Amino acid sequence: MGKKKKDAGKKPKGKTPTRAKSRSFPDDFPGPARAMVIMAHPDDAEFVCGGTIARWCAEGWDVTYVVATGGDKGTHDSEMHPEKLAAIREEEQRAACRTLGVGECIFLGYPDGFTSESAELRGQIVRLVRVHRPDVVITWDAYERGFNHRDHRNIGVAVADALYPLVRDRLFYPADEEDGLDSHQVNEVLLAGTANPDFEVDVSQYWEKKLDAIVCHASQIGGRTREDFLKQRQEQAGGNTQQPMVENFRRWTIRRAQAQPPEEKK
Ligand SMILES: [Zn+2]
């Protein structure tokens, strides 16, 4: 029968895909909720979690982006200057946010490649989390062992440290409290770009929206079009269009502190 053999090694069951992941959205995840996506560069989020964001926004989630740098080194154009590139890339990021339905996009203004895992950066993240009070945060997996961009690593570490325990405990960065901000606890963290995912989001219905957002980053995609990305996807799927498109994460669940434990000494 004319069936191609070259993909014979791939999972033959078309109907009942037994999912390897035991945890997924929305089966094991509440919503709609508030999410904050904290990334290093404009375009990071679209590539690693654009489908998830599109899905959440469509389902009524309130999503805020925090982007640490302007991505101002990301060019091979000999005429380009960092300030100009940052302005272009920030505008591209805003367009991608509008496409996905992200409510707000905050730029921290660090130079590309020069973030440091510092008390200042942690304090900025703590404050933004206390202002926006997300239920879920998506950031880079800083503990990915392979080759990784230092900004991704630094952001991942700074966010992890900010979320536990700094943002929760009021005496860290007390100026926030003086400014009327309560401490906050984030219970769910999804790490993107991880080698060891244990959580997946089915974004099959949002894949094209993700591509719409990716192509907003025109300075970064080398002239590729939405159709090029679609074709690439079809080739990767080996013709198996039934297969769901998923985005993978490592999930951390931070236990909620006891409301008012009898012994609250520490
Ligand atoms: Zn990046």
Taking only the tens place, the pLDDT of each residue in 75-125 is 999 999 999 999 999 999 999 999 999 999 999 999 999 999 999 999 999
Quote the ligand 1 centre to 41 CA distance (angstroms): 5
Angle at 182 between CA 179 and CA 188, to 5 degrees: 135
- In degrees and rounded to multiples of 5, residue 152 shows phi and psi of -65, -45
Residue 175, classed as helix, strand or coil, is helix
Nearest to 215 by CA among 64, 103, 95, 66: 95
If you measure from the C-alpha of residue 23 to the centroid of ligand 1, how many angstroms do you get, rounded to a whole number? 26
C-alpha span between 87 and 106 (Å, rounded): 13
Nearest Cα to 129, choosing from 265, 254, 30? 254
Do 233 and 5 touch, CB atoms closer than 8 A?
no
Q: What is the DSSP letter of 172?
A: S
Of 256, 38, 67, 49, give the one whose Cα is nearest residue 137: 38
CA nearest 54: which of 243, 244, 202, 192? 202
Q: Provide the CATH topology of domain 32-253.
A: Rossmann fold (3.40.50)
Q: DSSP state, 27?
A: T
CA 206 / ligand 1 centre spacing (Å): 22
Q: How far is the CA of 229 from the centre of ligand 1 (A)?
A: 19
Cα 10 to averaged position of ligand 1 atoms, centre (Å): 31
Q: Is 28 helix (H, G, I), strand (E, B) or coil?
A: coil
CA 131 to centroid of ligand 1, rounded, Å:
25
Half-sphere exposure of 15 (CA within 13 A, CB side): 0
Percent of the chain whose predicted confidence (pLDDT) is above 70 = 88
- What is the whole-number distance in angstroms between the Cα of residue 27 and the centre of ligand 1? 30
Mean pLDDT of all residues in 2-19 = 42
Q: Which helix (H) or strand (E) segment is 63 a member of?
A: strand 62-69
Query: What pLDDT, on the 0 to 100 scale, is given for residue 33?
Result: 95
Rounded to the nearest angstrom, the distance between the alpha carbon of 151 and the centre of ligand 1 is 7
Domain ranges of the chain: 32-253
209-226 confidence digits (pLDDT tens) = 999 999 999 999 999 999
* Ligand 1 centroid from CA 152, angstroms: 6
Supply the pTM of this predicted model.
0.87
**pLDDT digits over 125-181, tens only?**
999 999 999 999 999 999 988 888 999 999 999 999 999 999 999 999 999 999 999
Q: How far is the CA of 193 from the centre of ligand 1 (A)?
A: 10
Distance (Å, whole) CA 19 – CA 222: 35
Nearest one of 61, 7, 26 to 237, comparing CA atoms: 7
Ligand 1 centre from 180 Cα, in Å?
33
Average pLDDT, the chain: 89
DSSP character at residue 206: G
| Edge-to-edge order in the sheet of strand 199-202 | 24-25, 199-202, 246-253, 188-192, 136-140, 34-39, 62-69, 104-110
Pairing mode, strands 188-192 and 246-253: antiparallel
Q: In angstroms, what is the span from residue 155 Cα to ligand 1's centroid?
A: 10
Cis status, amide bond into 261, omega within 30 of 0: no
Give residues with Cβ within 8 angstroms of 125, minimum separation 6. Answer: 38, 66, 158, 159, 162, 167
The alpha carbon of 71 and the centre of ligand 1 are apart by a number of angstroms equal to 8
pLDDT for the residue numbered 259: 55
